[in-house]
């Protein structure tokens, strides 16, 4: 095989975006042969491609080697499993599933078909700024991590956004709010750069700012196995909001804010310094370093190129699909903690959370009003930081 024939399921904002850059030739050795949507009008812009109205037909068509799943989140699991069981490689949009038990089902299907490639679309991992931070942390330049705080309260969304499609911001259609839709990238980066939390205490306000039933304003406290602590704050209702990530280690502190990454490097380890300093108010000397962001052109295409190379050449994946479970688990745990008013130890009990979510779906009396929104450039929604 010298190229990957790919199909896309779901031709909304994200599916169309993927289709366009593949058709523009931004991914070498990857040919978009087929598209699939349940809405016939969404297929019309692709008259030269094979068109399907169901993912089952696409997966069994013989027209594709791989499928990119860009539908509402709940279907990521069922379509992903169906594709794997039929010998198709999968690239799944974030979040890989709505809840941990579904992530485990998808991961188990992949374990049964390990010769298929399972990637997840966490494109921020392809951006130089985050890769540099990852390298710096992995090489020990920050020392041992002691605190991680991310205030990302600038995911501002209007009522028109929530009214733009029926599945959004409902327990049944989306399975969650800001934690599951806007924050998977941030949660993924936090656990990838540092480590997954070992416990979470969440405070989630449901429909605080919008006429929705899911969370749109969240604060959660977390701890990691090494004793590092952190706070994650997010909102889709606050404006102007803040986007500031702070990672503190024994050798200094990193702050990412307003597109700038600053590393305040302790010349000596703060713990050693504390033990050996002769004066009570002495402090380690610091160096102030600004880390250049580097170019981040088309990070989605970079992740898809890596997926293509993994299929054709066995190149290691930037984002192995199973790693997509961490951000889902964090989102689920914060919500579960808030709903049950208790601290949640990780690993989260996936079936218990699934039962809770099913109860929310069953008890829901919320009526979603879908309103046509004016055409706008959705790529403005991609996080810059």
Ligand X SMILES: NC(=O)c1ccc[n+]([C@@H]2O[C@H](COP(=O)([O-])OP(=O)(O)OC[C@H]3O[C@@H](n4cnc5c(N)ncnc54)[C@H](O)[C@@H]3O)[C@@H](O)[C@H]2O)c1
- For ligand X, what does the binding mask look like between residues 69 and 88, x meaning CB under 6 A? -xxxx-x-------------
Rounded Cα–Cα distance for residues 274 and 266 (Å): 12
Q: How far is the CB of 75 from ligand X (least distance, A)?
A: 5
- For ligand X, what does the binding mask look like between residues 321 and 360, x meaning CB under 6 A? ----------------------------------------
- For ligand X, what does the binding mask look like between residues 269 and 308, x meaning CB under 6 A? ----------------------------------------
Q: How far is the CB of 56 from ligand X (least distance, A)?
A: 9
**Exactly one of 28, 39, 227, 277 binds ligand X (CB under 6 A); which one?**
39
Q: How far is the CB of 226 from ligand X (least distance, A)?
A: 30
Rounded Cα–Cα distance for residues 190 and 185 (Å): 9
Q: How far is the CB of 168 from ligand X (least distance, A)?
A: 7
Residues 176-215 within binding reach of ligand X (CB under 6 A): 181
Question: Is the CB of 271 or the CB of 371 nearer to ligand X?
Answer: 371
Rounded Cα–Cα distance for residues 176 and 371 (Å): 20
Stretch that binds ligand X, among 21-29, 67-75, 260-268, 332-340 (CB under 6 A): 67-75
Stretch that binds ligand X, among 38-46, 147-155, 286-294, 311-319 (CB under 6 A): 38-46
Calculate the alpha carbon distances from 368 to 99, 126, 163, 170, 373 in Å: 22, 36, 8, 8, 15
Residues 114-173 within binding reach of ligand X (CB under 6 A): 121, 123, 165
Question: Position of tokens 């399907």?
Answer: 52
Q: How far is the CB of 102 from ligand X (least distance, A)?
A: 13
CA 219 remoteness from chain centre: 18
Give the tokens for residue 158: 């209007």
What are the start-end ranges of the H helices in 90-223?
100-112, 128-138, 159-162, 178-181, 184-193
Residue 70 main-chain phi, psi, to 5 deg: -130, 45
Rounded Cα–Cα distance for residues 234 and 154 (Å): 8
55 binds ligand X per the rule CB under 6 A: yes
Stretch that binds ligand X, among 9-17, 133-141, 203-211, 350-358 (CB under 6 A): 9-17
Picking from 183, 287, 313, the residue whose alpha carbon sits closest to that of residue 235 is: 183
Buried b (16+ CB within 10 A) or exposed e, 140-167: ebbbebbebbbbbbbbebeeebbbbbeb
Could you list the residues that contact ligand X (CB under 6 A)?
9-15, 36-39, 42, 55, 70-73, 75, 93-94, 121, 123, 165, 181, 382
């Amino acid at each position: 095989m010298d190229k990957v024939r790919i199909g896309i399921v779901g031709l909304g904002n994200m599916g169309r975006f993927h289709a366009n850059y593949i058709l523009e030739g931004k991914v070498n050795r990857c040919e978009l042969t087929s598209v699939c949507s349940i809405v016939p009008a969404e297929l019309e812009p692709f008259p030269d491609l094979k068109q399907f109205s169901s993912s089952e037909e696409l997966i069994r068509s013989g027209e594709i080697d791989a499928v990119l799943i860009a539908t509402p989140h709940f279907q990521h699991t069922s379509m992903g499993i169906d594709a794997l069981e039929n010998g198709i490689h999968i690239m799944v949009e974030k979040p890989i599933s709505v809840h941990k038990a579904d992530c485990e089902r998808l991961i188990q299907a992949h374990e049964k078909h390990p010769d298929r490639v399972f990637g997840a679309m966490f494109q921020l991992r392809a951006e130089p700024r985050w890769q540099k931070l990852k390298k710096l942390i992995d090489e020990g330049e920050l020392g041992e991590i002691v605190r991680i705080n991310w205030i990302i309260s600038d995911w501002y969304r209007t009522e028109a956004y929530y009214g733009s499609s029926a599945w959004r911001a409902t327990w049944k259609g989306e399975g969650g709010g800001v934690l599951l839709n806007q924050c998977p990238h941030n949660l993924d980066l936090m656990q990838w750069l540092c480590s997954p939390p070992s416990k979470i205490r969440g405070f989630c306000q449901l429909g605080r700012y919008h006429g929705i039933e899911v969370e749109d304003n969240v604060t959660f406290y977390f701890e990691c196995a090494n004793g590092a602590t952190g706070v994650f704050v997010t909102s889709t209702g606050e404006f102007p909001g803040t986007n500031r990530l702070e990672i503190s280690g024994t050798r200094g502190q990193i702050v990412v804010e307003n597109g700038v990454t600053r590393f305040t490097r302790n010349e000596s380890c703060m713990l050693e310094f504390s033990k050996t300093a002769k004066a009570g108010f002495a402090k380690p000397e610091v160096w102030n370093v600004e880390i250049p962001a580097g170019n981040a052109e088309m990070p989605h295409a970079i992740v898809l190129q890596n997926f293509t190379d993994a299929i054709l050449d066995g190149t290691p994946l930037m984002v192995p699909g199973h790693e997509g479970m961490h951000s889902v688990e964090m989102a689920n745990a914060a919500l579960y903690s808030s709903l049950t008013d208790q601290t949640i130890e990780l690993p989260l009990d996936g079936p218990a959370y699934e039962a809770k979510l099913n109860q929310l779906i069953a008890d829901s009396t919320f009526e979603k009003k879908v309103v046509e929104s004016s055409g706008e450039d959705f790529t403005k929604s991609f996080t810059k930081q």
